[in-house]
Amino acid sequence: MNPSIKRASTSPLSQSAAGDLDAVYAKIARRIIPFMVLLFLMAWLDRYNLGFAKLQMVKDLGFSEAVYGFGAGIVYLGYMLFEIPSNLFLERIGARKTFARITILWGITSMAMMLVKAAVWFYFLRFLLGSFEAGLLPGVILYLTYWFPARRRALMVAGFLTSIPLSAILGSPISGWIMDSLGGRAGLANWQWLFVLEGIPSILVGLLTLFVVVDKPARARWLTDREKQLVLADLEAERREAGAREHGLAQALRLPRVWLLVAIHFCALSSNVTIGFWVPSIIQSLGVKSTLTIGLLATLPYMGALIGMMLVSRHSDRTLERRYHAALPCLACAAGLIGIGVFAHVPVLAFGSLVVAVTAALCYNGPFWQFPPMLLGGTAAAGGIALINSLGNLSGWAGPSVVGWLEDLTGKISSGLYVVAGLEVLASALIVLFMPRSHIDRG
């Protein structure tokens, strides 16, 4: 074993304190990770209920696939414009107020989607949804650096991101039931009920945030003075061990690797967001007619993702290897996307390919988000993480737009999925060629 890796894998404190420190971090994880999961679960539920609404909404409003794809993805333009300001503001006013503001405003916007009558209002509200939600993911990534050292963070990030598959596992059957059962009640279409009923919980969770979230360990009343001292000493020791990193936002923006991370995230994230908007349609194209059955089947790929992302991130933390843990899922995702098209006339194999694509797309995230803190600290970390996520998320606009346009042109969802698969292969190559394996290999 590389001796430097062995040193990095142990606590910088004495062995007698290491057991206590493990217990403290476990206590912190139990207190903050479940609520972060709940916040992001609300975000993904409100973002991707559009995939179920599409099954009837597009027909009711006379939208083409291109209009749907453009509107589905424009949410990420809002991300691009407001994620950096949101994260810089978080560093100033704290996570509690930031997360509450984000969650309440996107819940209101999601409910307003029931009022859409024309494409221009569809685009506007989707853009507004992205603008309000901007800052949540990079905010949580930054927030976790206040509480956990690098050697523990991939698993914590993966734990937080379990909200993505959980939103599908829990939300898909509910969305399918709403679409199947509530159409025509009180004069509202089924897709209008979907936006109303799935927007209300976000507002309630946003209000709860003000009472639950604690900004930093020093302010946590549920930690003893001894526990606070252990955590703060451990985090300070890691900062000293990490050595020089860019701390100013202006300096960070001049780092080529920051922009390389933007390119990697753009390519890799294209599958995640695109698949999310088309999972119900893909399942429907395999011959499934009932929206309730579509909702139940849509949970299976995300069950695989829930297991896979925790296993990959746990192994990445144990080995302190990030490069291949991020790159190989991108390749597997590409294979799954291609399989959806190749096996379009063999529903079992096509569905199996969908499971692989969804699982692999989400497994990438935990290891990937350990790269930015290897290079950045302080304000540079706040702005850099937001920059990477906001510009990378533009693939969430480009991907659905391309898939929708090509589906209109060719009549097949698979045409666009092949383009997205190519981006996944490129992401894998860039990670292997240019990213460090661990935080001690940053040269």
Express each pLDDT in 179-229 by its tens digit: 888 888 888 999 999 999 988 999 999 999 999 999 999 999 999 999 999
Residue with tokens 């609520």: 35
pLDDT at 397 exceeding the cut of 90: no
User: How far is it, in rounded angstroms, from Cα 286 to Cα 206?
Assistant: 38
pLDDT digits 0-9 by tens, 56-111: 898 999 998 889 888 888 888 888 888 888 888 898 899 999 999 999 998 999 99
Residue 376: φ, ψ to 5°: -130, 150
Residue 4 pLDDT level (bands cut at 50, 70, 90): very low
Q: Show the tokens assigned to 115.
A: 């009022």
Q: Taking residues 139-149, report their average pLDDT.
A: 90
User: Mapping DSSP to helix (H, G, I), strand (E, B) and coil, where does residue 376 land?
Assistant: strand
Residue 237: φ, ψ to 5°: -60, -40
Residue 21: φ, ψ to 5°: -65, -40
Quick one: 276 exposed, middle or buried, by C-beta within 10 A (0-12, 13-18, 19+)?
A: buried
Q: Taking residues 41-66, report their average pLDDT.
A: 85
User: How far is it, in rounded angstroms, from Cα 78 to Cα 134?
Assistant: 7
Domains in the chain, CATH or no CATH each: 20-434 (1.20.1250.20)
pLDDT at 7 exceeding the cut of 60: no
Residue 289: φ, ψ to 5°: -105, -40
Q: Show the tokens assigned to 402.
A: 């391309």
Which of 267, 291, 273 has its CA nearest to residue 281?
291
**Roughly what angle, to the nearest 10 degrees, separates helices 65-73 and 15-61?**
150
pLDDT at 382 exceeding the cut of 80: no
